[in-house]
Amino acid sequence: MIVRASITIVGIKSSVSGVALVDAGSVLTLLDEEIANVVGVRLLGKRVRLVVGDGHEIVAELGVVKELIIEGESLPEAHVAITKFSEKIRESLKKLGLADWCIVGLSTLEILGLAPNTSSGRLEKVGVLVL
């Protein structure tokens, strides 16, 4: 079962809200470059290579949003990876009734103390593990 989460991204220009896919295989939260330009993301000048599910690599640029809110949990100055979502990815997300501009990654969830539950399709508050 896919996991969904309500999300709001607050940038330096505006904000956007929707229901996003939670990808347990993604470390970083991905943001489509079009919406990143709309909300206003502070770019860090650092590019990263990401390997997607089918094995090919994409390049993303790291950025920071003013605030990222997932299921009511707020993360100020959150890091995101900005890339151009392919039309195939956008259409797949739309067919699932999800925002076609964001995929939530695990590092974001871990900081917020949230974990995906694939049985319920929702996030659960689990707290933050510190070793």
Cα 21 to chain centroid, rounded: 8
Nearest partner of 5 among 91, 81, 127, 96, judged by Cα: 96
pLDDT under 50 in the chain at which residues?
Answer: none
Q: How confident is the model at residue 127, as a pLDDT? A: 75
Whole-prediction pTM value?
0.91
Q: How confident is the model at residue 129, as a pLDDT? A: 58
Topology of domain 3-125, per CATH? Cathepsin D, subunit A; domain 1 (2.40.70)
> Rounded to an integer, what distance in angstroms lies between the CA atom of residue 9 and that of residue 39?
8
Q: How confident is the model at residue 44, as a pLDDT? A: 96
Give the residue extent of every domain in the chain. Answer: 3-125
